[in-house]
Structure 1
Amino acid sequence: MKKILLFAMGLAMSASTLAEETEKVETTIAGDIVSSYIWRGLDAGSTAVQPTLGIGYKGLSLTAWGSYGLTNPDDTKEFDLTLGYSVGGFNIGITDYWFSVGLDPDARYFKYDAHGTNHIFEANIGYDFGVVSLQWFTNFAGNDGENKDGNRAYSSYLEANVPFKLATCDWTATAGVVPFATTFYGTEGFAVTNLALKATKDIKVTDSFSIPVFGQVVANPCSQKAYLVLGFTLHP
């Protein structure tokens, strides 16, 4: 009887520990609707829906993200998987980008040939200092761009973000640069490709549900382009 009692107590303690650990697992389900898809100062498509599904545990996260055009059937479809880890202000990660256009005309997702894939693999590292966050991204495999010599460019991008509050809105000022020549970003050397200002405000629908609405002005001095984006986010 004593052994049975001890065994039952052990099971109860294990179940309690498992329940506590399960509660620490975070799930993200969200979707953005944007008037146009502007990525790092580049025009990546027109009106689009951009779903997110992610799971996180103790700083480790796995996130799926996509973009699908709503008005233009020729817009590139995108599906990304990101494995990341963060602790304090530090973060690091690897992203597998897949696009419906690239080296494979049949747009096969499971085709990973070095010279025939639509995947791009990117590593990132960054730190959030509170008043400003810095993030460095570098493509290390897949369908990367070329440098001036026609070799893999290991295309890189450095971005700084400064958050602040103004007039009941959450604002973010962004500056992004490409340090080297690459056909991936369309640069011939060091170039400023992304200057942006974004404002977000929650629109209250009910006491327990609100919709974040955002507007963003984006300029790309390198390409001499400018954009105005409107969007909103849906999440439980």
Structure 2
Amino acid sequence: MRTHLLLPLLAVFAAAPATPLAAQEFSLGADLMSRYVWRGTDFGESASVQPTLAFSAGGFEIGTWASYGIAPEAADVNEHDLWISYGFETSSGTFTLGVTDYYFPNAGVPFFDFSDGGGAHWIEPFVAYEGPASFPISLFAGVFAYNDPDNSVYLEASYPFALDGVSLAFTAGASGGRSGLYGTDGFALINLGLSAVKEIQVTESFVLPVSVGYIVNPDMEKSYLVFGLSF
């Protein structure tokens, strides 16, 4: 199933005339979140600080992202990830191929243990698509190809729009099959949500993005309302 999912997307990439993204820049920042909810699951039940550092050039991007729970009891689910990706534009939209390395510092496994089935690193190759301005849908497909006995698949679609100066997006995400990571016995919707972002003018030169997300995990029958500040 995973091969059947990825190969058609790769065939589309190969057939489409490609233009590498030309931006070259460092980007850095941090989010302060009331909860860390990832793909429909609350990790740590704590507010968290989530820093990001990335560099992009000629379509390539390499970066690192982390989430650190503010509550001491949330330390077990602290997370520090690395990713590398390549994005290119076509007449049909922007395509991205990439790999994310998930690492949990307090899981009790040394950082340099790269063994499969018990090491410190969970590896997820992914493909993503962002439609043109006329139809700005976003699609994502990822599979945990290393260190996950279930090789968990995640599929997501998102559609952005704006209303009264607020940026909104509907998101639908699903586990592609049986997964201990997502707690599913088969294909299941695990991440349905509506997110909203508004920029608040604090001073003449400083704008503070504020976000709120309403998230429902139908498979677990749980919902969350998450607030965030971006710096």
TM-score, scaled to structure 2: 0.83
CA distance 1:101–1:191, shift in 2 (3 Å): farther
CA contact (8 A) 2:112 2:120 kept: no
Q: What amino acid is the match of 2:65?
A: W
Q: What amino acid is the match of 2:139?
A: L
Deviations 1:14-60 (A, max 9, x none): xxxxxxxxx95310111000000000101112100000000000110
Output the aligned Cα RMSD.
1.5
In the alignment, which residue of structure 2 is the partner of 1:77? Answer: 78
Distance 1:91 1:141 in 2: 20
Distance 1:201 1:74 in 2: 28
Q: What amino acid is the match of 1:173?
A: F
Give the percent of matched residue pairs that are identical in Structure 1 and Structure 2: 37
Question: How many Å apart are 1:101 and its aligned residue?
Answer: 5.1
CA contact (8 A) 1:101 1:118 kept: no
Distance 2:228 2:178 in 1: 32
Question: How many Å apart are 1:167 and its aligned residue?
Answer: 1.9
CA distance 1:133–1:111, shift in 2 (3 Å): same
CA contact (8 A) 2:195 2:212 kept: yes
Question: How many Å apart are 1:166 and its aligned residue?
Answer: 0.9
In the alignment, which residue of structure 1 is the partner of 2:5? Answer: none
In the alignment, which residue of structure 1 is the partner of 2:109? Answer: 107
CA contact (8 A) 1:132 1:161 kept: yes
In the alignment, which residue of structure 1 is the partner of 2:25? Answer: 26
Q: What amino acid is the match of 1:51?
A: P
CA contact (8 A) 2:130 2:138 kept: yes
Deviations 1:181-213 (A, max 9, x none): 111110000100000100000111222211100
Secondary structure of the corresponding residue to residue 32 of structure 1: strand
Distance 2:49 2:156 in 1: 24
Secondary structure of the corresponding residue to residue 158 of structure 2: strand
The question of 1:66 aligning with 2:71 is answered: no
The question of 1:210 aligning with 2:211 is answered: no
Q: What amino acid is the match of 2:112?
A: F
Unaligned runs of 5+ in 1: 1-22, 145-151
In the alignment, which residue of structure 2 is the partner of 1:175? Answer: 172
Q: How many corresponding residue pairs?
A: 201
CA distance 1:223–1:157, shift in 2 (3 Å): same
> Which residue among 206, 225, 228 is the counterpart of 1:228?
225
In the alignment, which residue of structure 2 is the partner of 1:5? Answer: none
CA contact (8 A) 1:93 1:125 kept: yes
In the alignment, which residue of structure 2 is the partner of 1:48? Answer: 48
CA contact (8 A) 2:81 2:102 kept: yes
Distance 1:213 1:115 in 2: 39
The question of 1:91 aligning with 2:81 is answered: no
Unaligned runs of 5+ in 2: 1-21
Distance 2:164 2:197 in 1: 11
In the alignment, which residue of structure 1 is the partner of 2:182? Answer: 185
Question: How many Å apart are 1:214 and its aligned residue?
Answer: 0.2
CA contact (8 A) 2:23 2:59 kept: no
